[in-house]
Amino acid sequence: MLESQMPILIVLLVLGTGAKVVTVCKGGEPGALSRLGPAVLMPGRMQAPSLLVCGACELVLAGGLLLTTAPIFRWGTVCFFAMSTYVLVELRRRRPDAGCGCFGEVSSAPVGMRSIGRTVVLTGMSALSVAAPVSGWAAMGRPTWLMAAGVAVLVLLSPEIEELFDRVRYRAPCEQRPGPAEQVMLSRLRSSGPWRVHQDVLASTEPYDSWRELCWRFFAFTGRDRDDVVFAVYLSGRRPAVRVAVVANDGSDALPEYTPVSAQR
């Protein structure tokens, strides 16, 4: 049973490598890499190499898990996913607009609790596999109910599934496809946690302005102190990411207690 999760780990590591290589080779629009995973924390010329290095590490770990029982690869996998969890938490705090980049450009949605929860689950799976008596190759031929349960949990925690369905339906990245109607996005905003937290500081619950930028719909409201309260709602997902900022009417940031960066997934 200890080896039951190894095939899942191997497949995800290989998929992560392939997706990162495709994303770098494909290029995309200028600045696209600056919104993905580890590249966010790197200067411009190092963004593509950082994704490739991350992909290479994943491939080495996958090969080690598949072909050997060496502890270095198993503990290395535990450390990799634990570090990924830390990086995602930092991304969510410091760059709430950035995607995890776990599977290249498909993982461009802002980091939410689902993405963080997935890396926590993967860390647990890899820790469970440390003491497995066989290699990943041998485990491939021994499917179990625990393996199926692991797959089901990861599917539920993967926002990329929604993005893939959207791409199949629209055949275009998020920033190029038609978004939901403005009223639909406003309804999703009003059901979010950030809206409930900041609703009391609004002078009116109706926005005085709304606009779209790339994958975000923005709504501007007037605050009780005449400050501007601006919400940003991600276009994809039934429970999309929501960000909020309060700007003083003189153009500067409002007081810190009114300017938290909030999010919901």
3-state secondary structure 134-155: CCHHHHHCCCCHHHHHHHHHHH
Mapping DSSP to helix (H, G, I), strand (E, B) and coil, where does residue 110 land? strand
Q: Residue 265: what pLDDT?
A: 40
> What average pLDDT values come out for the chain (265 residues) when binned by 10 residues?
84 89 68 62 73 89 93 94 89 76 76 88 91 87 83 87 70 69 85 85 87 88 84 80 79 41 40
Question: Torsion angle, CA of 10/11/12/18, rounded to 10 degrees?
Answer: 110
The tokens for 66 are 């598949």
Q: Residue 124: what pLDDT?
A: 92
Cα–Cα distance, 190 to 7 (Å, whole number): 41
Under 8 Å between Cβ of 93 and 31: no
Whole-model pTM over 0.95? no
Q: Residue 24: what pLDDT?
A: 79
Residue with tokens 């719909």: 217
